[in-house]
Structure 1
Amino acid sequence: MLKPGDRAPDFTATAHDGRQVALKDFRGKKVLLYFYPRADTPGCTTEGIGFRDRIGDFGELGTVILGASFDTPERNAAFAKKFSFPFLLLSDTDKSLAIKYGAADDASAKSAKRVSCLIDEQGRVLRYYPQVAAREHVGEVLQDLTT
């Protein structure tokens, strides 16, 4: 399990808009990488809407939000469009990103675990959230960013 101070694992993944996104692209900003089990399902939608509705607060705190799941870019694009998500959703179809971040034990996982990692401006773990409650997580992260 990742812990504060660890170097966050590097990654490159396809975003819902077709772009290749790497962790290094966000150096100089904090990143919240959150994993969700499946696009357009109740808990994942609740969590995504929570982040969407507080995106201004995250921006003021210099924090970029990235969602990640095993869904295809097309499925994530439909999810992002349906709920007007202003952040990127990453497709981790080979599950390598989830394995690196503890959101899957191995490549046989059917869906990602609901975990998150808050990463600092230099690419180090600020906080790892191994068990996330979809409704409470947004407030939890904002509190951690302001204390």
Structure 2
Amino acid sequence: MLNAGDAAPDFSVIDHTGKTHTLADYRGKTVVLWFYPKADTPGCTAEGCSFRDYKAEFEKKNAAILGISFDPPEANKAFAEKFGFNFPLLSDTGRRMGLAYGACDDTQAASARRAGIIIGPDGKVKAYHAKVDARAFPAEALQQV
């Protein structure tokens, strides 16, 4: 588990469009990572739609939103298109991000735990939530960035 003040683990993972994202890409911005168990399921949809609806507010605070699941890019692409998500959905099919950020315990995990991590512009963990409420976390995260 990560704690506030820890250096956020680096990552290199593709999103639902095939673009590679690394933590270094976001240096100077606050990053909200939201791990979700499965694309196009009720809780994940509610959480994603709230992040979508709050995106302009996050941008005003110089914050980027990154959704992460173990789903393949094709599933995340369909999910993003169905609900008009305006932020990247990362496909951590190898579970490396999940392990580094405490969203799973091993590479055999079927799905990610619903966790939320806020990383400051300096690359350090600002807030770590091992378990979040899908409907409440987007508003909570907005207050913490």
Does the TM-score normalized on the shorter chain lie above 0.5?
Answer: yes
Render the CA deviation track for 1:17-68: whole Å, top value 9, x for unaligned.
1111111001010000110000000000000000001101100011000000
Residue 116 of structure 1 and its aligned partner are, at CA, apart by 1.0
**1:42: which partner in 2?**
42
Amino acid at match of 1:90: L
Q: How many residues align?
A: 145
Other-structure match for 1:17: 17
Could you say what secondary structure the match of 2:135 adopts? Answer: coil
Give the TM-score taking structure 1 as reference length.
Answer: 0.97
Please give the alpha-carbon distance, in whole angstroms, between the structure 1 residues aligned to 2:141 and 2:94: 27
| Inter-partner Cα distance in structure 1 for 2:144 and 2:91 | 27
**TM alignment of 1:1-147, pairs within 5 A:** 1-145=1-145
Deviation at 1:144, TM superposition (A): 1.6
Structure 2 unaligned blocks of 5 or more: none
How far has the Cα of 1:139 moved from its partner? 1.3
Q: In structure 1, what is the Cα distance between the partners aligned to 2:105 and 2:59?
A: 32
SS at match of 1:54: helix
TM-score in terms of structure 2 length:
0.98
- The root-mean-square deviation of aligned C-alpha atoms, in Å, is 0.6
- Give 1:138 deviation, angstroms: 1.1
Moved over 3 A (4+): none
Cα-to-partner distance string for 1:79-115 (whole Å, 9 max, x where unaligned): 0000000000000001111000000011121100000
Q: Which runs of 5+ in 1 are unaligned?
A: none
